[in-house]
Structure 1
Amino acid sequence: MKMLPSFAVAAVTITSASLSHTPAALAEAPWNVGGFDMPESAIFDSTRNRVILSNIAGHPGEADGNGFLTLLSETGQILDLDWVDGLDAPKGMAFVGQNLLVADLNTLHVIDAETGAIRRSIMVEGAGFLNDVTSDGQTAYISDLMTDSIWRYADGRVTLWMQHDQLSHPNGLLLDGARLLVGTWGEGLKEDFSTEVAGSLLSVDLETRAISIVVPEIGNIDGITRVGDEILLNDWVTGEVFTVNGAGEVDLAINLSPGVADISSHGNTLFLPMMLYGDLRVVTYP
């Protein structure tokens, strides 16, 4: 996610615009629900057939205690608007065992996924702006936008996994087999959070930690997810959602408005938190 730049917000549309090819077909959204407060990330809880949505509810970089998590049914009914409250600016989430991990500025919350009780809040010494979280169910990785770092959570501890200039303000993360996909925000970060150079999609080998470029300078990347054989990622500033196939070819799949935040998926269902609109939009892709 991002600090909010000052520009006008346009209506959300799904268009036939494209980069190099015609975009994949997109089914009409099965549901859309609003009334949230700067929703940043949505995750599907397949164990309990429900959706968890993080709400920043204030400045994305301030520890104001206004942030909260919302529970929704798989069809979009709000089950508990303030399921977990008293957070600061909660963003990315992932499951590890029976716990839900939530990135919150310089803190990683460990929350009982069944009850919503906060089991631990781990202060990450040296973290600047924890953002996205990805997990294989046992180990999690957390991006740190402001320190060009990625942290690792395992066995109840958070440690610095890597720090490298090439990460260029890492945001979106996705564990993808033996690699960690990293969506960077870009080089030359300015006060309004625009960049001099657009961010790239990177691949980091989990064993060697070698970094390779999958797609260079594609945009200010927020979320990354996989649907079938395709990687989907989004540009927060433009609202565009792209697909990347195994050959690294890029298509424009969906054209949204500025502020679409940390996208995620479950099967071929795509979750799109619209931070500037206060709603969660869900579509079937392709």
Structure 2
Amino acid sequence: MNTNLKLALFGISSTLLFAQCSPKKTEETTEAITVEEVKTPTLTKIWETDTTLTTNESVLYDAASGKLYVSNIEGDPRGKDGKGSISIIDKDGNVVNQNWITGLNAPKGMGITNGNFYVTDIDQLVEVNLESGAISNKYPIEGAGFLNDLATYDGKVYFTDMNTGKVHMLDGGNITTITEGHESINGIAIAENGDLYMLDKAGLKMLNTDGTSKILNDKVTGGDGLVILGDGNYVASRWAGEIYFVNSDGVETLLLDTKDAESNTADIGFIPGDNIVLVPTFFKNKVVAYKLDY
């Protein structure tokens, strides 16, 4: 073969080989990788009431009227002394009616349904006409010693007995026990679909249709107030001065700790839409409102 031809072919081969071995310059498209930011839920104080709500244990928000009802024990939580009362405050923390209902003993959990206001009072469920504020009925609960939290759903009234570990239900004037065996049960809440959730010594639980229960979180034990936020998220309080956020994975985050200030966090209430957590402070005699961000 002609020497010049050999050199030419060798040059072409070398060029092709170099091109194959060299990095290819291609147009690269860089896709943005979005990492979802995990937001830590927080509580920010926005107002507090005057200290006239003596030994306030529970707060209830009524969406129909915009009123906030506060149960005041005003004495021994087990004492039948007639000192207990219900107050009404507005959404800015102003006391509208200090003595809406008086003559109770140690009122705790509250709820509204069928034009009536209901409150637990040691060993009886008290029914009040919502419009007049007059007591219309009292339902004594046999064997009860410490009726506590209360929730309403579909015209029915559900309430807990901390002493006996039971959940009772008022339906059409009749009282029945729907579940028992929940040691030191306190907080109770019912979801929009009717599922019942509760707080007891074991933690945050959901009641199954067969009467058994499923533990969703076993760290927030001995809880007091319970709020269902939706999408598997909850807010739960402990009376001693702790409020927790529990997410859909059952993981808890401490939102508030007021133990050092000796300010209790009893049966909390909630204003949906505004995402405001309402905290009865018990011995501090005031309700404190916090904005929840999550």
Retained in 1: the 8 A contact 2:242–2:257?
yes
SS in 1 for 2:43: coil
Aligned partners of 2:64, 2:213: CA distance in 1, in Å?
Answer: 34
- How far apart in 2 are the matches of 1:110 and 1:280? 24
The answer to whether the Cα contact below 8 Å between 1:204 and 1:210 also exists between their aligned partners in 2 is: yes
Distance (whole Å) between structure 2 residues aligned to residue 158 and residue 111 of structure 1: 17
Inter-CA distance 137–57: structure 2 relative to 1 (3 Å threshold) = farther
Q: Which one of 239, 242, 267 corresponds to residue 240 of structure 1?
A: 242
User: Could you tell me which residue of structure 1 aligns to residue 15 of structure 2?
Assistant: none
Q: Which residue of 1 aligns with 2:289?
A: 282
Q: Which residue of 2 aligns with 1:179?
A: 195
Give 1 or 2: higher helix fraction: 2
Q: 2:265 aligns with which of 260, 268, 274?
A: 260
The equivalent position to 2:183 in structure 1, one of 168, 180, 200, is 168
What TM-score comes out, normalization by structure 1 length? 0.82
Post-superposition offset of 1:22: 7.5
State the structure with more CA Rg.
2
Contact 1:142–1:150 (Cα < 8 Å) also in 2: yes
Q: Kindly report the root-mean-square deviation, in angstroms, between the aligned alpha carbons of the 2 structures.
A: 1.7
- d(CA) in 2 for partners of 1:28, 1:182: 26
Q: Which amino acid aligns with 1:172?
A: G
1:36-81: CA deviation from partner (whole Å, max 9, x where unpaired):
1100001012222111100001000111100000011222221111
- For residue 23 of structure 1, report the CA deviation from its aligned partner: 4.1
| Aligned residues of 2:87 and 2:98 also touching (Cα < 8 A) | yes
Does the C-alpha gap of structure 1 residues 147 and 121 become closer, same or farther in structure 2, counting only changes over 3 Å? Answer: same
Alignment-derived partner of residue 219 in structure 1: 221
CA–CA separation in structure 1 for the residues paired with 2:207 and 2:221: 19
Residue of structure 1 aligned with 2:207, choices 201, 204, 208: 204
Q: 2:134 is matched with which residue?
A: 117
- The amino acid across from 1:40 in the alignment is E
Return the offset for 1:93.
Answer: 0.4
Distance (whole Å) between structure 2 residues aligned to residue 37 and residue 30 of structure 1: 18
User: How far, CA to CA, are the matches of 1:219 and 1:236 in structure 2?
Assistant: 11
Asked if 1:159 corresponds to 2:162, the answer is no
Structure 1: gaps (5+ residues): 1-20, 187-198
Q: Which has the higher contact order (CA 8 A, sep 6+)?
A: 1
**What whole-Å deviation, never above 9, does each CA across 1:152-200 have from its counterpart, x for those lacking one?**
1111222122222xx111000011234211101x2xxxxxxxxxxxx41
| Normalised TM-score (structure 2) | 0.80
More strand by share: 1
Tell me the equivalent position of 1:131: 148
1:69-120 per-position Cα deviation (integer Å, ceiling 9, x unaligned): 0011222221111110000000000112111110000110011112211110
Match of 2:45 in 1: 28
Gaps of 5+ in 2: 1-37
Deviation at 1:31, TM superposition (A): 4.0
Aligned to 1:39: 56
